[in-house]
Amino acid sequence: MKLKTLISLSFFSVFAFAQAQNNTSYWQQHVDYKMNVDMNVEDYNYTGKQELVYTNNSPDTLDQVFYHLYFNAFQPGSEMDMRSLTIKDPDRRVVDRISKLEPDEIGFLKVNTLFQDGTALTYNVAGTVLEVSLAKPIAPGESTTFKMDFNGQVPVQIRRSGRNNAEGVALSMTQWYPKLAEYDFEGWHADPYIAREFHGVWGDFDVKITIDSDYTIGGTGYLQNPEIGHGYGEPGQKAVKPTKGKYTWHFVAPNVHDFTWAADPDYIHDKLTAEDGTVLHFFYKDNKEIVENWKKMQPKTAELLAYYNEHVGQYLYDQYSVIQGGDGGMEYAMCTLITGERSFGSLVGVTAHEFAHTWFQFLMATNEQKHEWMDEGFTSYISDEAMNTVMEQNKPNPQAGNYNSYFRLATSGFEQPQTTYADRYALNAAYGASAYSKGAVFLAQLGYVIGKENLDETLKQYFDKWHFKHPTPNDFKRVAEKVSGMQLDWYLIDWTQTTNTIDYAIKNVEEVDGKTQVTLERKGLMPMPIDFYVNTTDDTNEAYYIPLRMMRAEKANPFPEMTRTQLEDWTWANPTYTFTIDKPLAEIKAMTIDAQQLMADIDRTNNSWSKETE
């Protein structure tokens, strides 16, 4: 039986953190939230009570904590506002809109009282971060309870969160509550919110949301009282409430690091049980122009789930919700918010991408401020592979678009290393191409280096070893090394910590003593092993493999039916490499470096030689 129930997940949570406490080489913090929220849908203000139990599994004594107050970003003069006003290519959804918000349109989160184990605390609001001095330090292995009264205002929909989005969804409630910042082996991650991604602490959430009775809610967690709205969960129906007033929706979510919800009085709610038992929920507006596409998308979502289960790892919760809302597409715990007025292909495409985030962001959860490419890039890679299968696109290389996007970045003059902090990219376009496209090419090209079968196995073992653990780039690299038997530090460093590029060329071809002598040149700074293919005049194909010495191993022949000759290692410091083909030049029709075009060579015009062009 899969690890998918509330009880089993809660047990896993306790077991994992107990193990962490006994293992000085790995640990992570834990939080349990209880929240009661009352929403006023007339003025979009809400009040909340939060009880948070924080367990310090670190070896450090903590004398302060930090909370994120994300909604404070949606105010004139905020860091998000200033960044959008000063960056050369602002997000078209933001631009100068925050600077023009009126007081009843802004977002805010205000902490009214905060206690630690019954003692009032002092704190300071610094933009989107609450700085809290503790009354009593939290020693290693100890837990403490914070109680907070807070209130907030939902901003006009601008970025991810907000009210009354462009498609008329009333409430997209993402990053809406005071959220404790993550503390890990690197220290506190109390990052200001400037429109990039999020990082959080795993824990169990128990959330009650009181709202007008004609609203239907979808989001994170399992609904504990479905009887509150007659028709909730009935396929293809709006929730028809028998009385006026307010209802309280009660959700629990085990072992997640966020809690998101959306609400609208006109949601249609469909359900579909997938082959593995996961219940897929769909919430979308009662709009006749989109209903057909949303219906057709639902079995495709089940196919996507099956693909990710097979190629990454088993989805570990009992349900997942696809919800119309937000300002594009964004992943959250057990759900995604997407805009829904799309073509069928676009609707499936955005669902494929956001759903795939569940494996890389919400079940492994790298720190996206520091390693955004590990989430966005890996998600782009696997969702493109899934779309190729599920939508029967039949592309010979589903990653071709990502390669082309990377080539434009690498030759633009604007590329920054992938180790750049997510908020520090000079251009939004450079961030996007680096995180999404270059991140996807990292995986696709790794398949070239270690072999596709080893890449596939690496992804599975990576998920199996690191879900619920916030992995780092080195954690992924070590899995790939163990699977492949190769040394890969050079690959991780050059690709992610520099802007070195790959450029190999066929420098010279000549006949010497009745044999063909080929000289290759490394023109770029980044080294790679070389797959070299020869097509003879009798249309026979042969392969020559030149290992990179620093790999300390070789990959298997990707085409076992083709004769392959393994040559001596190429050392990186030598810019040229010469070898001999035991055939006269007259018998050779063409030669190519990396015929599959899986190596991200920025100039492929010099990768081929043919008799016709001689």
Domains of the chain: residue spans and CATH? 27-201 (2.60.40), 387-497 (no CATH), 504-610 (2.60.40)
**Residue of 105, 167, 182, 354 marked active site:** 354
CB atoms within 10 A of CB 549: 16
Provide the 8-state DSSP code for 583. S
Euclidean distance between CA atoms 51 and 340, whole angstroms: 35
Measured between alpha carbons, how far is 194 from 586 in angstroms, rounded to an integer? Answer: 62
- Model confidence over 319-364: pLDDT tens digits? 999 999 999 999 999 999 999 999 999 999 999 999 999 999 999 9
CB 132, CB 169: distance < 8 Å: no
SS in 3 state form for 112-128? EEEEECCEECEEEEECC
Q: What is the pLDDT of residue 87?
A: 98
One-letter amino acid identity for 279?
V
436 labelled catalytic: yes
- So what's the pLDDT on residue 244? 75
pLDDT at 22: 41
Sheet strand arrangement including 222-223: 119-120, 108-116, 143-153, 45-55, 30-40, 203-212, 246-256, 222-223
The H or E element spanning position 255 is strand 246-256
Residue 232 predicted with pLDDT over 60: no
> What is residue 4's predicted lDDT score, i.e. its pLDDT?
53
Q: What is the mean pLDDT of residues 597-603?
A: 98
Question: Tokens for 392?
Answer: 């029967």
Which residue of the set 177, 332, 403, 436 is catalytic?
436
pLDDT at 238: 53
First to last CA, the chain: 63
pLDDT digits (tens, 9 = 90+) for 147-198: 999 999 999 999 999 999 999 999 999 999 999 999 999 999 999 999 898 9
The sign of the CA dihedral 293, 299, 305, 308 is negative
Q: How far apart are CA 403 and CA 285, in angstroms?
A: 36
Structure tokens, 116: 């630690």
Give CA torsion, residues 407, 409, 412, 414, to 10 deg.
-160
How does DSSP classify residue 169? -
Average pLDDT of the chain to the nearest whole number: 94
Q: Count Cβ atoms within 10 A of the Cβ of residue 59 and give its class: 0-12 exposed, 13-18 middle, 19 or more buried.
A: exposed
pLDDT beyond 60 at 140? yes
Question: Bridge partners of 595?
Answer: none
Q: What is the mean pLDDT of residues 225-254?
A: 71
Determine the Cα–Cα distance for residues 181 and 258; give it in Å rounded to an integer. 11
pLDDT grade, residue 11 (50/70/90)?
A: very low
Q: How many CB atoms lie within 10 A of CB 318?
A: 16
* Section 474-478 average pLDDT: 98
Q: How many CB atoms lie within 10 A of CB 289?
A: 9
DSSP3 helix / strand / coil % (the chain, rounded to 5): 30, 30, 40
Q: Is 315 a catalytic residue?
A: no
The 10s digit of each residue's pLDDT in 36-89 is 999 999 999 999 999 999 999 999 999 999 999 999 999 999 999 999 999 999
- Confidence check: pLDDT of 230 > 70: no
20-24, 168-172, 226-230: which has the minimum mean pLDDT?
A: 20-24
Distances (CA, A) of 476 to 193, 218, 375, 496: 27, 34, 12, 13
Asked if residue 35 lies in contact with residue 207, where contact means CB atoms within 8 angstroms, the answer is yes
Residue 493 has pLDDT above 80, yes or no: yes
List alpha helices for 473-536, DSSP H.
473-484, 489-497
Q: What confidence score (pLDDT) does residue 243 get?
A: 57
What pLDDT score does 195 carry?
Answer: 87
- Residue 7 predicted with pLDDT over 50: no
pTM: 0.95
d(CA 303, CA 235): 19
User: Strand (E) positions, 286-378?
Assistant: 319-324, 329-332, 335-338
CA distance 276 to 262: 26
540 pLDDT band, cuts 50/70/90, is: very high
Would you say 440 and 446 are in contact if contact means Cβ atoms under 8 Å apart? Answer: no
Cα gap 579→510, rounded to integer Å: 11
In 3D space, the residue among 309, 376, 363, 380 whose CA is nearest the CA of residue 471 turns out to be 363
Instruction: Give yes or no for residue 592 having a pLDDT over 80.
Output: yes
Residues of the chain with pLDDT > 70, as a percent, come to 93
Angle at 356 between CA 351 and CA 357, to 5 degrees: 105
Q: Distance between CA 390 and CA 304 in Å, rounded?
A: 7
Provide the phi-psi class of 260: left if phi over 0, else alpha when psi is between -120 and 50, else beta.
beta
Residues 57, 258, 272, 305, CA torsion sign: negative
Q: Hey, CA dihedral for 113, 258, 335, 73, is it positive or negative?
A: positive
Q: Where are the beta strands (DSSP E) in 496-593?
A: 504-512, 515-522, 530-536, 541-546, 563-566, 576-581, 588-593
Instruction: Return the pLDDT at 408.
Output: 98
Residue 612's pLDDT is 82
DSSP result, 173-192: ESS-S-EEPEEETTEEE---
- Nearest-10 Cα torsion for 419, 423, 425, 427: 150
**CA dist., res. 38 & res. 265, Å (int):** 16
Q: Is the pLDDT of residue 233 over 70?
A: no
Q: What is the pLDDT of residues 197-224, one digit of tens each?
A: 899 999 999 999 999 999 999 999 999 9
Q: What is the structure's pLDDT at 5? A: 47
